[in-house]
Amino acid sequence: MTLAIIGGTGLTRIEALNITGQQELETPFGPPSAPYVFGELNGQSLIFLARHGNPHRIPPHKINYRANIWGLKQLGAAEIIGVAAVGGISPSMGPAKIAIPAQLIDYSYGREHTFFADDLEHVTHIDFTEPYTPSLRRRIVQAAAAAGIEVYDGGVYGCTQGPRLETVAEIKRMANDGCDLVGMTGMPEAALARELELPYANISVVANWAAGIVDGEITMAEIEKNLLAGMSNAIALLQATVLSATAG
């Protein structure tokens, strides 16, 4: 049961990963974001992929999501955890907090978002009632509880197009829609994993209050500072999740 981790902003590599190899891949959809890195985390083998490339150079709307997910399937990944930096919209989603969202709303556009685009004979509609695989979500939440890592169990991730951050009015609209978190990469990543029948869950690390939630502009310095704290907890959570898989 090989776990794959897709790391985003603030998680281009995992220091604690004992790297055993890496592989570049061509896919029918073009090149993935980076070479796939094979390694062991707490004795458990896994595959790591840097969503924005390593070094971080691909903006969210230019990521080849189809190649990334297809490559993971080809390499034998059995499940995927996507780690994402997000803006916090709900009062409980403050900087450096971690959430395991249960739902999402897709505001992105113009992205290659399906593997079934060219198959005119078989129109395929995947079920997406629960966009994040409930059993994998549960495992992460339980691992967090066992390790004493504070996470918010649930919430709605809203995926915007980027690369710019949102306006105050856009965030107000998203809050009205029920979004608790805002990021730019959650879709089509989650849907593509579902199309290939790969269980998928998301660990969201809050980098900043979303636009207008508190006064002032959003700065990269603030984002980097919060991610430094939040990502070290996210890595501890990944380690706890991997250990729980070994134990189970």
Ligand X SMILES: CSC[C@H]1O[C@H](OP(=O)(O)O)[C@H](O)[C@@H]1O
- Residue numbers of the site for ligand HPA (CB under 6 A)? 85-87, 160, 165-166, 182-184, 207-208, 210
Decide: 202 and 132 in contact? Cβ < 8 Å: yes
Nearer to ligand HPA, 198 or 210 (CB): 210
Which of 109, 124 has the CB closer to ligand X?
A: 109
* Minimum distance, C-beta of residue 183 to ligand HPA, in the bound complex (Å): 5
For residues 47 and 38, the answer to whether their CB atoms sit within 8 Å is: yes
Q: Quick one: CA dihedral 206, 43, 49, 22, positive or negative?
A: positive
Q: How far is the CB of 84 from ligand X (least distance, A)?
A: 4
209 is in an annotated binding site: yes
Q: Which is nearer to ligand X, 143 or 207 (CB)?
A: 207
Instruction: Write out the binding residues for ligand X, residues 37-66 only, by CB under 6 A.
Output: 51-52, 60
Return the SS3 of 222: helix
Does the protein bind ligand X through residue 9 (CB under 6 A)?
yes
- Choose, by CB under 6 A, the member of 3, 4, 8, 235 that binds ligand X: 8
12 annotated ligand binder = no
- Token pair listed for 226: 């919060």
* Helix or strand run (H / E) with residue 29: none
Query: Looking at 116-124, 137-145, 183-191, 193-201, which segment touches ligand X (CB under 6 A)?
Result: 183-191
* Per-position DSSP letters for 166-211, written without gaps between them: --HHHHHHHHHHT-SEEESSHHHHHHHHHHTT--EEEEEEEEEEPB
Q: Which of 72, 143, 179, 184 binds ligand X (CB under 6 A)?
A: 184
Q: Residue 188's closest CA among 96, 116, 89? A: 116
- Residue 8's binding partner among ligand HPA, ligand X, none (Cβ under 5 to 8 angstroms by kind) is ligand X
3-state secondary structure of 232: helix
Of 200, 238, 201, 188, residue with least CA distance to 73: 200
Q: Which 63-122 residues touch ligand X, going by CB under 6 A?
A: 84-85
* CA quadruple 54, 201, 129, 207: dihedral, nearest 10: -70
Q: Please choose which of ligand X, ligand HPA, none residue 156 contacts, taking the beta carbon within 5 to 8 angstroms, the exact cut-off set by kind.
A: none
Question: CB of residue 53 vs ligand X: minimum separation in angstroms?
Answer: 11
Residue whose Cβ sits closest to ligand HPA: 87
For residue 186, the minimal CB distance to ligand X (Å) is 7
Furthest CA-CA distance within the chain: 53
Q: Any contact of residue 193 with ligand X (CB under 6 A)?
A: no
* Contact partner, 210, from ligand HPA, ligand X, none, Cβ < 5-8 Å per class: ligand HPA
Q: Is the four-CA dihedral 211, 215, 220, 221 of positive or negative sign?
A: negative
Residue nearest to ligand X (CB): 8
Q: Would you list which residues are annotated within the binding site for phosphate? A: 9, 51-52, 185
